[in-house]
Structure 1
Amino acid sequence: MRLYQEIGQQLRNAIQQGAYRAGDKLPAERDLAAQFSVSRSVVREALILLELEQCVEIRKGSGVYVLPPASVVPVVEPASDSVTCGVFELLQARQLLESEIAGFAALQATRNDIVELRKAVELERQQLSSGTIADDTDEHFHYLVAMATQNAALVAIVQESWKLRQRSGMWLNHHQDTSDFSARWAWFEDRMQILQAIQHRDAVAAKRAMWQHLENVKNKMLTQADISAADFDGYLFTSTPIDNNTTK
Protein backbone atom coordinates (compact mmCIF):
# COMPACT_ATOMS: atom_id res chain seq x y z
CA MET A 1 0.00 0.00 0.00
CA ARG A 2 1.38 3.39 -0.98
CA LEU A 3 1.67 6.29 1.44
CA TYR A 4 -1.27 8.25 0.02
CA GLN A 5 -3.42 5.11 0.32
CA GLU A 6 -2.42 4.74 3.98
CA ILE A 7 -3.34 8.37 4.67
CA GLY A 8 -6.60 7.89 2.78
CA GLN A 9 -7.37 4.83 4.91
CA GLN A 10 -6.74 6.77 8.12
CA LEU A 11 -9.01 9.61 7.00
CA ARG A 12 -11.66 7.12 5.89
CA ASN A 13 -11.52 5.44 9.29
CA ALA A 14 -11.82 8.80 11.06
CA ILE A 15 -14.94 9.62 9.03
CA GLN A 16 -16.49 6.21 9.65
CA GLN A 17 -15.77 6.50 13.38
CA GLY A 18 -17.51 9.88 13.58
CA ALA A 19 -14.52 12.17 13.95
CA TYR A 20 -15.88 14.00 10.91
CA ARG A 21 -19.60 14.00 10.17
CA ALA A 22 -21.54 14.59 6.95
CA GLY A 23 -21.20 18.22 5.95
CA ASP A 24 -18.09 18.79 8.04
CA LYS A 25 -15.15 20.49 6.40
CA LEU A 26 -11.88 18.61 6.72
CA PRO A 27 -8.78 20.44 7.95
CA ALA A 28 -6.73 22.28 5.34
CA GLU A 29 -4.14 20.34 3.34
CA ARG A 30 -1.26 21.93 5.23
CA ASP A 31 -2.82 20.96 8.58
CA LEU A 32 -3.41 17.37 7.48
CA ALA A 33 0.15 17.23 6.12
CA ALA A 34 1.48 18.35 9.51
CA GLN A 35 -0.83 15.93 11.33
CA PHE A 36 0.36 12.91 9.35
CA SER A 37 3.94 14.15 8.83
CA VAL A 38 3.70 13.88 5.06
CA SER A 39 3.89 16.31 2.14
CA ARG A 40 0.85 18.21 0.92
CA SER A 41 1.01 16.31 -2.38
CA VAL A 42 0.50 13.03 -0.48
CA VAL A 43 -2.50 14.55 1.30
CA ARG A 44 -3.92 15.72 -2.04
CA GLU A 45 -3.55 12.22 -3.49
CA ALA A 46 -5.33 10.78 -0.44
CA LEU A 47 -8.18 13.29 -0.76
CA ILE A 48 -8.63 12.56 -4.46
CA LEU A 49 -8.78 8.86 -3.58
CA LEU A 50 -11.58 9.58 -1.10
CA GLU A 51 -13.37 11.75 -3.66
CA LEU A 52 -13.27 8.90 -6.17
CA GLU A 53 -14.86 6.72 -3.50
CA GLN A 54 -17.52 9.44 -3.04
CA CYS A 55 -16.54 9.74 0.60
CA VAL A 56 -15.77 13.45 0.36
CA GLU A 57 -16.43 16.31 -2.03
CA ILE A 58 -13.60 18.64 -3.05
CA ARG A 59 -14.98 22.12 -3.68
CA LYS A 60 -12.42 24.26 -5.46
CA GLY A 61 -11.71 27.44 -3.53
CA SER A 62 -13.72 26.25 -0.53
CA GLY A 63 -12.33 23.02 0.88
CA VAL A 64 -13.04 19.32 1.32
CA TYR A 65 -16.40 18.27 2.78
CA VAL A 66 -17.60 14.93 4.11
CA LEU A 67 -20.49 13.42 2.17
CA PRO A 68 -23.44 11.60 3.80
CA PRO A 69 -22.87 7.86 4.38
CA ALA A 70 -25.45 7.00 1.73
CA SER A 71 -23.16 8.59 -0.82
CA VAL A 72 -20.30 6.26 -0.01
CA VAL A 73 -20.07 3.44 -2.51
CA PRO A 74 -17.80 0.39 -2.59
CA VAL A 75 -14.56 0.91 -4.46
CA VAL A 76 -14.58 -1.09 -7.67
CA GLU A 77 -11.13 -1.76 -9.05
CA PRO A 78 -10.79 -1.19 -12.78
CA ALA A 79 -10.64 -4.39 -14.78
CA SER A 80 -7.12 -3.76 -16.09
CA ASP A 81 -6.06 -7.26 -15.01
CA SER A 82 -8.14 -8.56 -17.89
CA VAL A 83 -6.88 -5.95 -20.37
CA THR A 84 -3.88 -6.65 -22.54
CA CYS A 85 -2.27 -4.21 -24.92
CA GLY A 86 0.97 -3.87 -26.77
CA VAL A 87 3.82 -1.60 -25.78
CA PHE A 88 3.32 0.81 -28.64
CA GLU A 89 -0.46 0.62 -28.43
CA LEU A 90 -0.22 1.86 -24.85
CA LEU A 91 2.22 4.59 -25.85
CA GLN A 92 -0.15 5.79 -28.54
CA ALA A 93 -3.02 6.00 -26.06
CA ARG A 94 -0.88 7.87 -23.55
CA GLN A 95 0.33 10.29 -26.20
CA LEU A 96 -3.24 11.14 -27.20
CA LEU A 97 -4.50 11.49 -23.63
CA GLU A 98 -1.58 12.95 -21.73
CA SER A 99 -0.78 15.67 -24.24
CA GLU A 100 -4.32 17.00 -23.75
CA ILE A 101 -4.01 16.59 -19.99
CA ALA A 102 -0.76 18.59 -19.95
CA GLY A 103 -2.39 21.37 -21.94
CA PHE A 104 -5.31 21.51 -19.53
CA ALA A 105 -2.94 21.38 -16.54
CA ALA A 106 -1.26 24.54 -17.81
CA LEU A 107 -4.58 26.34 -17.42
CA GLN A 108 -5.54 24.83 -14.07
CA ALA A 109 -2.29 24.44 -12.10
CA THR A 110 -1.99 26.10 -8.70
CA ARG A 111 1.15 27.48 -7.09
CA ASN A 112 1.44 24.30 -5.04
CA ASP A 113 1.18 22.15 -8.18
CA ILE A 114 4.15 24.02 -9.67
CA VAL A 115 6.13 23.58 -6.44
CA GLU A 116 5.50 19.83 -6.42
CA LEU A 117 6.44 19.48 -10.09
CA ARG A 118 9.65 21.39 -9.45
CA LYS A 119 10.47 19.07 -6.56
CA ALA A 120 9.87 16.06 -8.81
CA VAL A 121 12.21 17.21 -11.58
CA GLU A 122 14.86 18.27 -9.05
CA LEU A 123 14.71 14.84 -7.43
CA GLU A 124 15.12 13.23 -10.83
CA ARG A 125 18.10 15.47 -11.59
CA GLN A 126 19.75 14.49 -8.30
CA GLN A 127 19.13 10.81 -8.94
CA LEU A 128 20.49 10.95 -12.47
CA SER A 129 23.55 12.85 -11.29
CA SER A 130 24.24 10.12 -8.74
CA GLY A 131 23.78 7.38 -11.34
CA THR A 132 20.57 5.96 -9.91
CA ILE A 133 16.87 6.56 -10.38
CA ALA A 134 13.81 5.16 -8.62
CA ASP A 135 11.38 3.15 -10.70
CA ASP A 136 8.46 5.40 -9.83
CA THR A 137 10.11 8.78 -10.51
CA ASP A 138 8.75 8.96 -14.06
CA GLU A 139 5.29 7.85 -12.98
CA HIS A 140 5.19 10.42 -10.18
CA PHE A 141 5.85 13.31 -12.57
CA HIS A 142 3.05 12.27 -14.93
CA TYR A 143 0.76 11.79 -11.94
CA LEU A 144 1.53 15.32 -10.72
CA VAL A 145 0.72 16.75 -14.15
CA ALA A 146 -2.66 15.02 -14.00
CA MET A 147 -3.18 16.29 -10.45
CA ALA A 148 -2.58 19.83 -11.70
CA THR A 149 -5.78 19.60 -13.78
CA GLN A 150 -7.79 19.51 -10.51
CA ASN A 151 -9.87 16.76 -12.13
CA ALA A 152 -10.11 13.48 -10.24
CA ALA A 153 -11.35 11.56 -13.28
CA LEU A 154 -8.28 12.53 -15.31
CA VAL A 155 -6.04 11.51 -12.42
CA ALA A 156 -7.75 8.11 -12.30
CA ILE A 157 -7.28 7.65 -16.06
CA VAL A 158 -3.55 8.36 -15.82
CA GLN A 159 -3.23 6.02 -12.84
CA GLU A 160 -4.95 3.25 -14.77
CA SER A 161 -2.64 3.67 -17.77
CA TRP A 162 0.34 3.18 -15.50
CA LYS A 163 -1.23 0.09 -13.99
CA LEU A 164 -1.52 -1.31 -17.50
CA ARG A 165 2.16 -0.60 -18.06
CA GLN A 166 3.21 -2.20 -14.79
CA ARG A 167 1.25 -5.35 -15.61
CA SER A 168 2.67 -5.64 -19.11
CA GLY A 169 5.49 -8.11 -19.41
CA MET A 170 6.10 -6.82 -22.91
CA TRP A 171 6.69 -3.30 -21.61
CA LEU A 172 9.08 -4.49 -18.91
CA ASN A 173 11.07 -6.42 -21.48
CA HIS A 174 11.30 -3.47 -23.86
CA HIS A 175 11.75 -0.58 -21.44
CA GLN A 176 15.45 -0.82 -20.64
CA ASP A 177 17.59 2.23 -19.97
CA THR A 178 21.04 2.70 -21.42
CA SER A 179 23.92 2.21 -19.01
CA ASP A 180 25.07 5.84 -19.43
CA PHE A 181 21.54 7.14 -18.75
CA SER A 182 21.57 9.07 -22.03
CA ALA A 183 17.88 8.32 -22.65
CA ARG A 184 16.97 9.23 -19.09
CA TRP A 185 18.78 12.56 -19.33
CA ALA A 186 16.97 13.33 -22.59
CA TRP A 187 13.62 12.52 -20.99
CA PHE A 188 14.55 14.69 -18.01
CA GLU A 189 15.00 17.60 -20.41
CA ASP A 190 11.59 16.76 -21.88
CA ARG A 191 10.01 17.01 -18.45
CA MET A 192 11.71 20.34 -17.85
CA GLN A 193 10.05 21.62 -21.03
CA ILE A 194 6.66 20.36 -19.83
CA LEU A 195 7.14 21.99 -16.42
CA GLN A 196 8.18 25.32 -17.93
CA ALA A 197 5.16 25.36 -20.22
CA ILE A 198 2.78 24.61 -17.34
CA GLN A 199 4.49 27.22 -15.18
CA HIS A 200 4.01 29.84 -17.90
CA ARG A 201 0.38 28.74 -18.38
CA ASP A 202 1.11 28.01 -22.02
CA ALA A 203 -1.39 25.28 -22.86
CA VAL A 204 -0.20 24.89 -26.45
CA ALA A 205 3.45 24.50 -25.44
CA ALA A 206 2.56 22.07 -22.63
CA LYS A 207 0.53 19.91 -25.00
CA ARG A 208 3.31 19.85 -27.57
CA ALA A 209 6.01 19.19 -24.97
CA MET A 210 4.16 16.18 -23.56
CA TRP A 211 3.42 14.86 -27.05
CA GLN A 212 7.09 15.18 -28.02
CA HIS A 213 8.25 13.54 -24.78
CA LEU A 214 6.18 10.44 -25.44
CA GLU A 215 7.27 10.51 -29.09
CA ASN A 216 10.88 10.48 -27.90
CA VAL A 217 10.13 7.55 -25.58
CA LYS A 218 8.54 5.66 -28.46
CA ASN A 219 11.47 6.29 -30.79
CA LYS A 220 13.97 5.11 -28.18
CA MET A 221 11.99 1.96 -27.53
CA LEU A 222 11.79 1.25 -31.25
CA THR A 223 15.59 1.09 -31.34
CA GLN A 224 15.52 -1.50 -28.54
CA ALA A 225 12.59 -3.57 -29.76
CA ASP A 226 12.88 -6.96 -31.39
CA ILE A 227 10.81 -6.34 -34.51
CA SER A 228 10.75 -10.06 -35.25
CA ALA A 229 9.04 -10.85 -31.94
CA ALA A 230 5.46 -12.09 -32.11
CA ASP A 231 4.29 -9.37 -29.74
CA PHE A 232 5.93 -6.46 -31.59
CA ASP A 233 3.21 -3.94 -32.40
CA GLY A 234 5.28 -0.90 -33.35
CA TYR A 235 4.18 -1.00 -36.96
CA LEU A 236 0.48 -0.92 -36.02
CA PHE A 237 0.37 2.17 -33.88
CA THR A 238 2.03 5.20 -35.41
CA SER A 239 1.99 8.59 -33.73
CA THR A 240 -0.97 10.85 -34.31
CA PRO A 241 0.48 14.21 -35.42
CA ILE A 242 -0.26 17.07 -33.08
CA ASP A 243 -2.47 19.84 -34.43
CA ASN A 244 -0.01 22.54 -35.43
CA ASN A 245 -2.89 24.93 -36.02
CA THR A 246 -3.82 24.91 -32.34
CA THR A 247 -3.89 28.38 -30.84
CA LYS A 248 -3.94 29.59 -27.29
Structure 2
Amino acid sequence: MPAESQRLYERIAQKLANDISRGQYKIGQRLPSERELAQTFSVSRPTVREAIIALELDRLVEVRVGSGVYVTNTEPPGGKAGATDIGPFELLEARRSIEGEACALAATRIDDAQLAELNALLTEMRTENEKDVMLSEDADRRFHETIAAATQNSGMIAAVKMLWDARTRSPQSRSLSAKVRATGVKPRIDEHTAILKALRQRDPEGARAAMREHLTRVIDALLKATEVQELERARQQIAEQRKRYAASQ
Protein backbone atom coordinates (compact mmCIF):
# COMPACT_ATOMS: atom_id res chain seq x y z
CA MET A 1 0.00 0.00 0.00
CA PRO A 2 1.46 3.43 -0.92
CA ALA A 3 2.70 5.31 2.13
CA GLU A 4 0.47 8.31 1.39
CA SER A 5 -2.65 6.12 1.53
CA GLN A 6 -1.70 4.39 4.78
CA ARG A 7 -3.15 5.41 8.11
CA LEU A 8 -0.66 7.04 10.45
CA TYR A 9 -0.47 4.12 12.87
CA GLU A 10 0.09 1.74 9.92
CA ARG A 11 3.11 3.77 8.82
CA ILE A 12 4.55 3.64 12.34
CA ALA A 13 3.90 -0.10 12.54
CA GLN A 14 5.57 -0.62 9.15
CA LYS A 15 8.65 1.38 10.19
CA LEU A 16 8.99 -0.64 13.38
CA ALA A 17 8.43 -3.91 11.48
CA ASN A 18 11.18 -2.91 9.02
CA ASP A 19 13.53 -2.11 11.92
CA ILE A 20 12.79 -5.52 13.43
CA SER A 21 13.31 -7.27 10.09
CA ARG A 22 16.67 -5.51 9.55
CA GLY A 23 17.84 -6.60 12.99
CA GLN A 24 17.82 -3.22 14.68
CA TYR A 25 15.75 -4.91 17.36
CA LYS A 26 16.66 -8.53 18.09
CA ILE A 27 14.34 -11.31 19.19
CA GLY A 28 13.87 -10.97 22.93
CA GLN A 29 14.87 -7.32 22.92
CA ARG A 30 12.60 -4.71 24.44
CA LEU A 31 11.38 -1.90 22.19
CA PRO A 32 11.83 1.70 23.33
CA SER A 33 9.12 2.94 25.67
CA GLU A 34 5.84 4.20 24.29
CA ARG A 35 6.81 7.74 25.24
CA GLU A 36 10.14 7.46 23.43
CA LEU A 37 8.51 6.07 20.29
CA ALA A 38 5.93 8.87 20.30
CA GLN A 39 8.74 11.43 20.50
CA THR A 40 10.82 9.66 17.83
CA PHE A 41 7.97 9.57 15.32
CA SER A 42 6.36 12.87 16.42
CA VAL A 43 2.98 11.21 16.96
CA SER A 44 0.58 10.77 19.86
CA ARG A 45 0.83 7.90 22.30
CA PRO A 46 -2.55 6.47 21.16
CA THR A 47 -1.08 6.24 17.63
CA VAL A 48 1.91 4.34 19.00
CA ARG A 49 -0.50 2.13 20.96
CA GLU A 50 -2.37 1.28 17.75
CA ALA A 51 0.90 0.50 15.97
CA ILE A 52 1.97 -1.83 18.79
CA ILE A 53 -1.39 -3.63 18.66
CA ALA A 54 -0.89 -4.13 14.90
CA LEU A 55 2.59 -5.59 15.50
CA GLU A 56 1.20 -7.79 18.26
CA LEU A 57 -1.51 -9.15 15.95
CA ASP A 58 1.20 -9.97 13.40
CA ARG A 59 3.04 -11.76 16.25
CA LEU A 60 6.14 -9.64 15.81
CA VAL A 61 6.02 -8.44 19.42
CA GLU A 62 4.64 -9.46 22.77
CA VAL A 63 3.25 -6.94 25.24
CA ARG A 64 4.17 -7.83 28.82
CA VAL A 65 2.16 -5.72 31.22
CA GLY A 66 4.38 -4.10 33.79
CA SER A 67 7.48 -4.74 31.70
CA GLY A 68 7.26 -3.54 28.09
CA VAL A 69 7.03 -4.64 24.47
CA TYR A 70 9.41 -7.41 23.34
CA VAL A 71 10.31 -8.68 19.88
CA THR A 72 9.18 -12.27 19.28
CA ASN A 73 9.71 -12.72 15.51
CA THR A 74 11.61 -10.95 12.76
CA GLU A 75 8.83 -11.62 10.22
CA PRO A 76 5.10 -12.38 10.67
CA PRO A 77 4.85 -16.18 11.18
CA GLY A 78 2.02 -16.25 8.64
CA GLY A 79 4.38 -14.95 5.97
CA LYS A 80 2.76 -11.55 5.55
CA ALA A 81 1.35 -8.74 7.64
CA GLY A 82 -2.28 -8.90 8.63
CA ALA A 83 -5.07 -7.01 6.90
CA THR A 84 -5.21 -3.27 7.48
CA ASP A 85 -7.73 -2.10 9.99
CA ILE A 86 -9.24 1.04 11.45
CA GLY A 87 -7.28 1.66 14.61
CA PRO A 88 -9.39 1.46 17.80
CA PHE A 89 -8.49 4.99 18.89
CA GLU A 90 -9.13 6.35 15.37
CA LEU A 91 -12.51 4.64 15.52
CA LEU A 92 -13.36 6.20 18.87
CA GLU A 93 -12.29 9.62 17.65
CA ALA A 94 -14.66 9.26 14.68
CA ARG A 95 -17.45 8.04 16.95
CA ARG A 96 -17.00 11.01 19.26
CA SER A 97 -17.45 13.45 16.38
CA ILE A 98 -20.26 11.67 14.56
CA GLU A 99 -22.23 10.34 17.51
CA GLY A 100 -21.93 13.69 19.28
CA GLU A 101 -23.72 15.37 16.39
CA ALA A 102 -26.20 12.50 16.06
CA CYS A 103 -27.07 12.87 19.73
CA ALA A 104 -27.63 16.62 19.34
CA LEU A 105 -29.96 16.02 16.38
CA ALA A 106 -31.75 13.19 18.18
CA ALA A 107 -32.53 15.54 21.08
CA THR A 108 -34.73 17.60 18.75
CA ARG A 109 -36.57 14.60 17.23
CA ILE A 110 -36.66 11.75 19.72
CA ASP A 111 -40.09 10.45 20.74
CA ASP A 112 -41.37 9.03 24.01
CA ALA A 113 -41.21 5.43 22.78
CA GLN A 114 -37.51 5.79 21.94
CA LEU A 115 -36.83 7.40 25.32
CA ALA A 116 -38.54 4.44 26.98
CA GLU A 117 -36.41 2.07 24.89
CA LEU A 118 -33.22 3.85 25.96
CA ASN A 119 -34.31 3.64 29.58
CA ALA A 120 -34.91 -0.11 29.19
CA LEU A 121 -31.48 -0.55 27.61
CA LEU A 122 -29.92 1.39 30.46
CA THR A 123 -31.55 -1.03 32.91
CA GLU A 124 -30.30 -3.93 30.80
CA MET A 125 -26.75 -2.58 30.86
CA ARG A 126 -26.91 -2.11 34.61
CA THR A 127 -28.08 -5.70 35.13
CA GLU A 128 -25.67 -7.25 32.63
CA ASN A 129 -22.70 -5.34 34.02
CA GLU A 130 -23.08 -7.60 37.04
CA LYS A 131 -23.01 -10.74 34.89
CA ASP A 132 -21.33 -10.60 31.49
CA VAL A 133 -19.37 -7.80 29.83
CA MET A 134 -20.07 -9.11 26.32
CA LEU A 135 -23.82 -8.90 26.90
CA SER A 136 -23.55 -5.38 28.25
CA GLU A 137 -21.53 -4.38 25.18
CA ASP A 138 -24.43 -5.57 23.03
CA ALA A 139 -26.86 -3.46 25.04
CA ASP A 140 -24.41 -0.57 24.75
CA ARG A 141 -24.44 -0.82 20.95
CA ARG A 142 -28.25 -0.91 20.84
CA PHE A 143 -28.35 2.17 23.09
CA HIS A 144 -26.19 4.15 20.66
CA GLU A 145 -27.99 2.86 17.57
CA THR A 146 -31.36 3.80 19.07
CA ILE A 147 -30.09 7.36 19.46
CA ALA A 148 -28.98 7.32 15.81
CA ALA A 149 -32.42 6.05 14.77
CA ALA A 150 -34.00 8.95 16.66
CA THR A 151 -32.28 11.42 14.30
CA GLN A 152 -34.59 10.22 11.50
CA ASN A 153 -31.61 10.83 9.22
CA SER A 154 -30.60 7.83 7.10
CA GLY A 155 -27.05 9.14 6.66
CA MET A 156 -26.52 9.45 10.42
CA ILE A 157 -28.04 6.02 11.02
CA ALA A 158 -25.79 4.43 8.37
CA ALA A 159 -22.67 6.22 9.68
CA VAL A 160 -23.19 5.09 13.28
CA LYS A 161 -23.95 1.52 12.18
CA MET A 162 -20.83 1.49 9.99
CA LEU A 163 -18.62 2.58 12.88
CA TRP A 164 -20.04 -0.09 15.19
CA ASP A 165 -19.74 -2.74 12.45
CA ALA A 166 -16.11 -1.70 11.95
CA ARG A 167 -15.52 -2.08 15.67
CA THR A 168 -17.07 -5.56 15.66
CA ARG A 169 -15.04 -6.92 12.73
CA SER A 170 -11.78 -5.14 13.61
CA PRO A 171 -9.04 -7.54 14.80
CA GLN A 172 -7.37 -4.65 16.61
CA SER A 173 -10.55 -3.58 18.37
CA ARG A 174 -11.27 -7.18 19.37
CA SER A 175 -7.75 -7.53 20.75
CA LEU A 176 -8.06 -4.25 22.63
CA SER A 177 -11.51 -5.16 23.96
CA ALA A 178 -10.15 -8.45 25.30
CA LYS A 179 -7.39 -6.59 27.15
CA VAL A 180 -9.88 -4.08 28.52
CA ARG A 181 -12.37 -6.77 29.60
CA ALA A 182 -9.56 -8.50 31.48
CA THR A 183 -9.20 -5.36 33.63
CA GLY A 184 -12.91 -5.31 34.43
CA VAL A 185 -13.83 -2.22 32.42
CA LYS A 186 -17.55 -2.16 31.54
CA PRO A 187 -20.01 0.37 30.07
CA ARG A 188 -20.39 3.35 32.42
CA ILE A 189 -23.99 3.61 33.60
CA ASP A 190 -23.63 7.16 34.92
CA GLU A 191 -22.39 8.46 31.56
CA HIS A 192 -25.25 6.82 29.66
CA THR A 193 -27.67 8.19 32.24
CA ALA A 194 -26.38 11.72 31.55
CA ILE A 195 -26.95 11.21 27.83
CA LEU A 196 -30.50 10.00 28.42
CA LYS A 197 -31.23 12.92 30.76
CA ALA A 198 -30.20 15.45 28.09
CA LEU A 199 -32.32 13.67 25.49
CA ARG A 200 -35.34 13.71 27.81
CA GLN A 201 -34.87 17.44 28.23
CA ARG A 202 -34.69 17.84 24.43
CA ASP A 203 -31.40 19.70 25.00
CA PRO A 204 -29.20 19.45 21.85
CA GLU A 205 -26.16 21.15 23.36
CA GLY A 206 -26.37 19.10 26.52
CA ALA A 207 -26.86 15.88 24.55
CA ARG A 208 -23.85 16.60 22.32
CA ALA A 209 -21.69 17.42 25.35
CA ALA A 210 -22.83 14.31 27.24
CA MET A 211 -22.08 12.00 24.30
CA ARG A 212 -18.69 13.58 23.60
CA GLU A 213 -17.78 13.43 27.30
CA HIS A 214 -18.79 9.77 27.41
CA LEU A 215 -16.65 8.80 24.42
CA THR A 216 -13.73 10.91 25.66
CA ARG A 217 -13.88 8.94 28.91
CA VAL A 218 -13.98 5.69 26.91
CA ILE A 219 -10.77 6.74 25.15
CA ASP A 220 -9.17 7.61 28.50
CA ALA A 221 -10.30 4.30 30.03
CA LEU A 222 -8.86 2.30 27.14
CA LEU A 223 -5.57 4.15 27.38
CA LYS A 224 -5.39 3.43 31.09
CA ALA A 225 -6.47 -0.19 30.76
CA THR A 226 -3.90 -0.95 28.06
CA GLU A 227 -1.04 1.13 29.42
CA VAL A 228 2.28 -0.61 28.90
CA GLN A 229 4.11 0.31 32.07
CA GLU A 230 7.64 1.51 31.56
CA LEU A 231 10.71 0.08 33.26
CA GLU A 232 12.68 3.29 33.63
CA ARG A 233 11.39 4.05 37.13
CA ALA A 234 11.99 0.47 38.27
CA ARG A 235 15.48 0.52 36.79
CA GLN A 236 16.25 3.76 38.61
CA GLN A 237 15.00 2.29 41.88
CA ILE A 238 17.15 -0.82 41.38
CA ALA A 239 20.18 1.33 40.61
CA GLU A 240 19.63 3.35 43.78
CA GLN A 241 19.25 0.17 45.82
CA ARG A 242 22.51 -1.15 44.39
CA LYS A 243 24.28 2.08 45.33
CA ARG A 244 22.95 1.89 48.88
CA TYR A 245 23.93 -1.77 49.13
CA ALA A 246 27.45 -1.06 47.81
CA ALA A 247 27.85 1.87 50.21
CA SER A 248 26.91 -0.30 53.17
CA GLN A 249 29.59 -2.91 52.47
1:125 is displaced (CA, Å) by 1.1
Q: 2-side partners of 1:210 and 1:112: how far apart?
A: 20
Q: Which position in structure 1 is the counterpart of 2:164?
A: 162
Which protein is bigger by CA-based radius of gyration? 2
Displacement of 1:164 after TM fit?
0.8
Query: Given that residues 124 and 133 in structure 1 are in contact (C-alpha distance below 8 angstroms), is that contact kept between their aligned partners in structure 2?
Result: no
State the alpha-carbon separation in 1 of the partners of residues 227 and 172 from structure 2.
11
CA pair 173-180 structure 1, distance change in 2 beyond 3 A: closer
What is the CA–CA distance in structure 2 between the aligned matches of 1:197 and 1:142, rounded to whole Å?
14
Identical-residue share of aligned pairs (%)? 28
What secondary structure is seen at the aligned counterpart in 2 of 1:175? Answer: helix
Distance in 2 of aligned mates of 1:225 and 1:133: 18
The CA deviation at 1:179 is 5.8
For the structure 1 residues 133 and 89, does the alpha-carbon distance in structure 2 shift closer, same or farther, using more than 3 Å as the test?
Answer: closer
Q: Which structure 2 residues correspond to residues 165-184 of structure 1 after superposition, within 5 A?
A: 165-176=167-178, 177-178=180-181, 181=184, 183-184=185-186
Secondary structure, in 3 states, of the residue corresponding to 2:86?
coil
Output the CA distance in 2 between the equivalents of 1:119 and 1:206: 18
After superposition, the Cα gap between the structure-2 partners of 1:107 and 1:123, relative to the gap in structure 1 and judged at 3 Å, is same
CA distance in 2, matches of 1:83, 1:173: 14
| Residue in 1 that maps onto 2:97 | 96
Q: Using the alignment, how far apart are the partners of 1:146 and 1:174 within structure 2?
A: 25
Q: Do the aligned partners of 1:86 and 1:170 also contact (CA within 8 Å) in 2? A: yes
Runs of 4+ in 1 over 6 A off after TM superposition: none
Residue 140 of structure 1 pairs with residue 137 of structure 2? no
* Alignment correspondent of 2:197: 196
Match of 1:153 among 130, 152, 155: 155
After the TM superposition, which residues 1-248 of structure 1 pair with which residues of structure 2 at under 5 Å, given as runs? 84-130=85-131, 133-134=134-135, 135-176=137-178, 177-178=180-181, 181=184, 183-184=185-186, 187-225=188-226
SS in 1 for 2:151: coil
Secondary structure, aligned partner of 2:186: helix
In 2, the alpha carbon distance for the partners of 1:139 and 1:107 equals: 21
Match of 2:6 in 1: none
Tell me the secondary structure at the aligned position of residue 201 of structure 1: coil
Amino acid at match of 1:194: I
Task: Considering fraction of residues, name the structure with more helix.
Answer: 2
**CA distance 1:170–1:216, change in 2 (3 Å):** same
Paired residues, number: 145
1-side partners of 2:218 and 2:134: how far apart? 17
| Deviation by residue 1:23-69 (Cα, 9 ceiling, x = unmatched) | xxxxxxxxxxxxxxxxxxxxxxxxxxxxxxxxxxxxxxxxxxxxxxx
Query: In structure 1, how many angstroms separate the alpha carbons of the residues matched to 2:162 and 2:132?
Result: 29
User: Unmatched 5+ residue regions in structure 1?
Assistant: 1-81, 229-248
Shift of 1:163: 1.0
Report the TM-score, using the length of structure 2 for normalisation. Answer: 0.53
2:85/2:171 contact within 8 Å kept: no
